[in-house]
Homo-oligomer: A and B are copies of this chain.
Amino acid sequence: MKKNKPKYNQIIDAAVEIIAENGYHSSQVSKIAKKAGVADGTIYLYFKNKEDILVSLFQQKMGSFIEKIEAETTQKQTADEKLLALIKTHFQQLTANHHLAIVTQLELRQSKPDLRLKINEVLKRYLVVIDQILNEGIKDKSFRGDINIRLVRQMIFGTLDEAVTNWVMKDQHYDLVDQAEEVHDLIVRGLTNRNN
C-alpha cells in the first residue's frame, strides 16, 4: 500500500505546497523533489509522471476530504442539518489547509481529457453524498419534490466552490466558516421575500 511509504506522502505534501504557490505549470518536478527532500529520480519511483503527481494528490487529499464530510453528515438526523454539516465541513477543511484549497480551486481545472476524467472520478463520490442528502430531504418532504437533483447539486457545489475561490483569491483574509450558516440558509430558502 503506497500510503505507508513515507516518501510517497512527503512528495504529495511537497507537491501541494509547491503547486499552490507556483501553479501546476510552474511547478517543476525538481522543485517538488527538493521540497520533499528526495532526488528528482525518486519521484519516478512513486509516480508514473508529473501528471500522476497531480492526480494522486487529488485522489489522496480529496479522498479523505470527502470521507470526513461523509462522517460528519451521517451523524446528523435531518437533510437540512446534514446539508449544513456538509457546508461547514467543506469550509473547515479548506480553511485548515489553504494550500490544498488553492490547488483544488484553481489548479485542478485542467482541460486535458484524461486528467479531467480521473478528477471527475474522485469528485463523483462527493456528488453522491450531496445527492443522498437531497433525496432524503425530498423523501421527508423538507425539500420540494419537484427539484431537479442534478441542477441542485450543481447549485450547491458551484456555490461552495465559488465561495472558496473568492476566499482564496482574497488571500484568506476573512473567516470562511463564518459564512456557512448564511450560505446554507440561502440555498435552502432562496431569494424570495416570503412577505409577498
Contacts and interface: CB of A to CB of B under 8 A. Distances in A.
A110 interface: yes
Contacts of A77: none
A110 B166 CA distance: 13
A26 to B, nearest CB: 7
A23 B110 CA distance: 7
Given A155-B162, A162-B161, A163-B154, A144 B193 contact: yes
Interface residues of A, number: 50
Nearest to A20: B111
A178 to B, nearest CB: 11
Interface string A154-166: 1101111111011
Contact of A155 (B110, B187, B196): B187
Contacts of A192: 142-144, 188-190
A132 interface: no
A196 B80 CA distance: 13
Q: How many copies does the complex hold?
A: 4
A112 interface: yes
Residue among A151, A157, A163 with most chain B CB within 10 A: A151
Interface stretch (A28-36, A64-72, A101-109): A101-109
A186 B159 CA distance: 12
Contacts of A62: none
Interface in A133-192: 137, 141-145, 147-148, 151-152, 154-155, 157-163, 165-166, 169, 179, 182-183, 186-192
Interface in A24-83: 24-26
Given A24-B111, A147-B191, A155-B183, 20 more contacts: A23-B110, A26-B112, A105-B109, A106-B109, A106-B110, A106-B111, A107-B111, A142-B192, A144-B191, A144-B192, A151-B182, A152-B186, A154-B163, A155-B186, A161-B161, A161-B162, A187-B190, A187-B191, A188-B192, A189-B192
